[in-house]
């Protein structure tokens, strides 16, 4: 299990999302942030770069710019995530002239300028439901958790790689390490019988 990225059990990710109320604009925004991170596996910088025009409501897709590999890609927008984004845009997003989807409520209101605010949102929401956090606890923790969840559901590794925007299947293959029960299903019997 060397070099296995930190990850959460999917039930913990789900608990954190479900515990966010919809009473304040910050709650509505934070729920949309967590859902988008957890269901698409996008990175912190990719989330901060999303503009309102990057959401295709008809096809249920989000255009992701400025990826780590300097390539743009499209990720699916699940119905629950789309509803949370629409709720944020219609009810909670500050009424300022900014093309960016997610905005800070701290003056001056505008797009997140660094990774720190997004990581704080993730940590705050996970701690709120009692999730023990290690050294890595930001958007990437949700990305690793999604990849692990998808591999656990036996999704094709190339599909997971495409979603995460990995150029090499080898980068995604490290998530197979967590699928030990699946590896046991394909293991061949020991030659010569049991030792």
- Residue 143 catalytic? yes
- Residue 144 catalytic? no
Q: Residues 29, 31, 43, 93: which is the catalytic one?
A: 43
Burial class (CB in 10 A: 0-12, 13-18, 19+), 59: exposed
Six-digit token pair at 161?
Answer: 């790689």
- Residue 88 catalytic? no
- Residue 68 catalytic? yes
- Residue 175 catalytic? yes
C-alpha span between 75 and 54 (Å, rounded): 11
For residue 15, how many other CB atoms are within 10 A of its CB?
A: 17
**Alpha helix positions (H), 50-138:** 79-87, 116-128
For residue 108, how many other CB atoms are within 10 A of its CB?
A: 6
C-alpha span between 75 and 134 (Å, rounded): 28
- Residue 154 catalytic? no
Q: Residues 51, 65, 66, 68: which is the catalytic one?
A: 68
Residues identified as active-site: 43, 68, 140, 143, 166, 175
């Amino acid at each position: 299990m060397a070099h296995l990225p930190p990850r959460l059990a999917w039930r913990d990710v789900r608990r954190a999302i479900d515990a966010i109320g919809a009473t304040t604009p910050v709650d509505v925004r934070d729920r949309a942030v967590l859902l988008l991170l957890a269901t698409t596996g996008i990175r912190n910088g990719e989330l901060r770069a999303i503009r309102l025009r990057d959401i295709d409501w008809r096809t249920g897709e989000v255009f992701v710019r400025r990826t780590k590999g300097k390539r743009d890609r499209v990720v699916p927008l699940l119905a629950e995530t789309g509803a949370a984004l629409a709720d944020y845009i219609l009810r909670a997003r500050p009424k300022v002239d900014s093309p960016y989807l997610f905005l800070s409520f701290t003056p001056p209101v505008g797009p997140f300028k660094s990774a720190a605010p997004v990581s704080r949102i993730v940590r705050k929401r996970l701690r709120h439901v009692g999730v023990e956090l290690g050294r890595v606890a930001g958007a990437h923790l949700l990305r690793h958790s999604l990849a692990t969840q998808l591999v656990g559901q036996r999704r094709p590794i190339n599909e997971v790689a495409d979603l995460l925007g990995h150029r090499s299947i080898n980068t995604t293959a490290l998530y197979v390490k967590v699928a030990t029960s699946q590896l046991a299903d394909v293991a061949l019997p020991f030659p010569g019988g049991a030792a």
